[in-house]
Structure 1
């Protein structure tokens, strides 16, 4: 019986299925090259942390590899404040302001970050998270999961 050499990969071996921070950010950059990947991830995670319950933010954080978790610390502008239940316009505006982006480009940013995030978590967790999102955000989440072409 021969012993096969196993190659080491930077894949996350915890609850999530994703890889390291660099791979996560590279996945975002490939989707939205006009934005800094870490800033885009931070902007989306900041808005999500305002929209999701604290327990869901903690649950999502646990699904990520340790070096990607740092991006989900919550926006530095909102630490210590109670989360706000943002409506669609406020959510999009929060992401746009965080990136100094035009509000009409936010769906593109969301799609890019969501697409990379789907590669970090299991399919089951992705479906559970979708149920926690408001209806107006579920479509973008699902499109990113199904690898639908990104919006323009």
Structure 2
């Protein structure tokens, strides 16, 4: 009788499957190597928290590894302000300005951060988030979850 070697994946004790800040940022870097992973994640998280209801942001935060959670906190420029619903152009511009990137590259950044984020949360939470996103952002969220349609 042969014994099969089982691969063990690091995990933390939260609801999601995330491991830690370094592994999350490594996943972001792998997706978008031309951008600073931490800055990209913060830019996307800042804009995302403007779009999602507060309760859903808290559920998402609870699933993240403890050392990633502060990255999902309200953007330092917007603390104390009410989240404002944005249209697509405003959302993309917010991410571009935060990251000091060209607006035409924002979809690539969103896809990269979303793909890394999907590795940190459970599928049920990913689906809840998708349903709360505006239609113009749902496609990028779903494509990143399914690891398809990566922008060039």
TM-score range normalised by the length of the shorter chain: over 0.9
How far apart are 1:13 and its partner, in Å?
2.0
Q: Structure 1: how far apart are the matches of 2:7 and 2:129? A: 32
Task: Give the TM-score normalised by the residue count of structure 1.
Answer: 0.92
RMSD: 1.5
SS at match of 1:34: coil
Q: Deviations over 1:87-121 (max 9, x none)?
A: 11000000000000000000000000000000000
How far apart are 1:149 and its partner, in Å?
4.3
Alignment partner of 1:141 is 2:141: yes
Q: Structure 2: how far apart are the matches of 1:9 and 1:112? A: 22
What residue is the counterpart of 2:78 in the other structure?
78
How far apart are 1:10 and its partner, in Å?
4.0
Q: Structure 1: how far apart are the matches of 2:72 and 2:85? A: 18
Q: Structure 1: how far apart are the matches of 2:110 and 2:8? A: 31
- Structure 1 unaligned regions, length at least 5: 1-5
How far apart are 1:63 and its partner, in Å?
1.1
Aligned residues: 147
Q: Structure 1: how far apart are the matches of 2:83 and 2:36? A: 25
Map of 1:45-56 to 2, 5 A cutoff? 45-56=45-56
Q: 1:99 to 1:81 in 2, by over 3 A?
A: same
Q: Structure 2: how far apart are the matches of 1:74 and 1:35? A: 21
